Amino acid sequence: MEADEGLILNVSSLPSPESHHSAGRKRFRKPLPGKDKWQSKALKRKFQWADEGTPSKQKHKLSVSPIKKCTKEAAICVKGNLSSKSPPKKHSTDRQNESLSSRPFIKTSCLFKNNPEIPEIHRGGVKQVQEKVFTSDSFSQLDLHPHLVSTITTVLKMSSMTSVQKQTIPVLLKGKDALVRSQTGSGKTLAYGIPLVQSLQGMKSKIQRSDGPYALILVPTRELALQSFDTVQKLLKPFTWIVPGVLMGGEKRKSEKARLRKGINILISTPGRLVDHIKSTKCIHFHHLQWLIMDEADRILDMGFEKDVTVILNALNAESERRQNVLLSATLTEGVTRLADISLHDPVSIAIVDETWERTTPEQEAINSPARMEEDGFAIPEKLKQHVVVVPSKLRLVTLAAFILGKCKFEKRHKMIVFFSSCEQVEFHYKLLLKVLLGGQEAEETECLPLPSSHLKFLRLHGNMEQEERTAVFQEFLQCKTGILLCTDVAARGLDLPQVTWIVQYNAPASPAEYVHRIGRTARIGCHGNSLLVLTPSEAEYVNSLASHKINVSEMKMEDILSSLMKDDRFKGRRWGNKKSRGTNPQEVRERATVLQTEFENYVHSGEGTVRWAKKALQSFLRSYTTYPKTLKHIFHIKSLHLGHVAKSFGLRDAPQNLSASMAASPGKKTKLKPKRPDLRRKTQGKRRLAEILRSEYSSGMDSGVSKVKRKKRHGKPGNQKMLS
Chain residues that interact with ligand ATP, rule: CB under 6 A: 158, 161-162, 165, 182, 184-190, 330, 494, 496, 520, 524-525
Q: Which of 518, 565, 559, 519 is nearest to 407 (CA)?
A: 565
Q: List phi, psi (to 5°) of 691.
A: -60, -40
Q: Is the separation of the CB atoms in 168 and 180 below 8 Å?
A: yes
Closest CA to 310 of 342, 337, 341: 342
Give the distance, in angstroms, between the CA of residue 96 and the centroid of all CA atoms in the same chain.
44
DSSP H or E run through 485: strand 483-487
Neighbours of 720 (CB within 10 A): 17
Residue nearer to ligand ATP on the CB measure, 64 or 497: 497
Taking the complex as a whole, how short is the minimal distance between the CB of residue 188 and ligand ATP, in angstroms? 4
Quote the strand ranges of 26-121, DSSP E. Answer: none
CB of 244 or CB of 494, closer to ligand ATP: 494
Distance CA 501, CA 523 (A): 7
User: Of 47 and 474, which CB lies nearer to ligand ATP in the complex structure?
Assistant: 474
The residue type at 156: L
Q: What is the nearest approach in angstroms of ligand ATP to the Cβ of residue 311? A: 25
The minimum distance between CB 324 and ligand ATP, in angstroms, equals 19
Report how far apart, in Å, the C-alpha atoms of 258 and of each of 32, 211, 232, 262 are.
69, 15, 21, 6
In eight-state DSSP terms, residue 524 is G
Residue 588: CB partners within 8 Å, gap ≥ 6?
A: 566, 572, 573, 576, 581
CA distance 371 to 229: 30
Helix axes 396-404, 423-433, angle to 10 degrees: 60
CB of 180 to ligand ATP, least distance (A): 9
67 vs 225, beta carbon nearer ligand ATP: 225
Of 340 and 380, the one with the shorter C-beta distance to ligand ATP is 380
- Return the amino acid letter for 719: G
**Min separation Cβ 228 and ligand ATP, Å:** 9
Pick the closer one to ligand ATP by CB: 43 or 194.
194
Minimum distance, C-beta of residue 509 to ligand ATP, in the bound complex (Å):
15
- Least CB distance to ligand ATP at residue 237 (A): 15
Per the CB < 8 A criterion, the answer to whether 494 and 227 are in contact is yes
Return the number of other C-beta atoms located less than 10 Å from residue 477's C-beta: 24
User: What minimum distance in Å lies between the beta carbon of 189 and ligand ATP?
Assistant: 3
Rounded to a whole number of angstroms, the minimum distance from the CB of residue 277 to ligand ATP is: 25
What SS3 class is residue 293? strand
To the nearest whole angstrom, how small is the minimum distance from the Cβ of residue 137 to ligand ATP? 10
The answer to whether the beta carbons of residues 113 and 3 sit under 8 Å apart is no
Please tell me the number of Cα atoms within 13 Å of 715 on its side-chain side.
Answer: 19
Of the two residues 463 and 520, which places its CB atom closer to ligand ATP in the complex? 520
Nearer to ligand ATP, 201 or 329 (CB): 329
Could you count the other beta carbons within 10 Å of the beta carbon of residue 29? 12
Q: Which is nearer to ligand ATP, 76 or 161 (CB)?
A: 161
Q: Would you say 525 or 706 has its CB closer to ligand ATP?
A: 525
- Rank residues 483 and 520 by Cβ distance to ligand ATP and give the closer one: 520
Rounded Cα distance between 688 and 694, Å, is 10
Distance of closest approach, residue 416 Cβ to ligand ATP, in angstroms: 17
Backbone angles phi, psi at 615, to 5 degrees: -65, -40
Question: Between residues 326 and 401, which has the closer beta carbon with respect to ligand ATP?
Answer: 326
| Interatomic CA distance for residues 651 and 658, integer angstroms | 16
DSSP-derived 3-state class of residue 669: coil
**How distant, in Å, are the alpha carbons of 93, 94, 96 from that of 90?**
5, 6, 10
Distance of closest approach, residue 157 Cβ to ligand ATP, in angstroms: 8
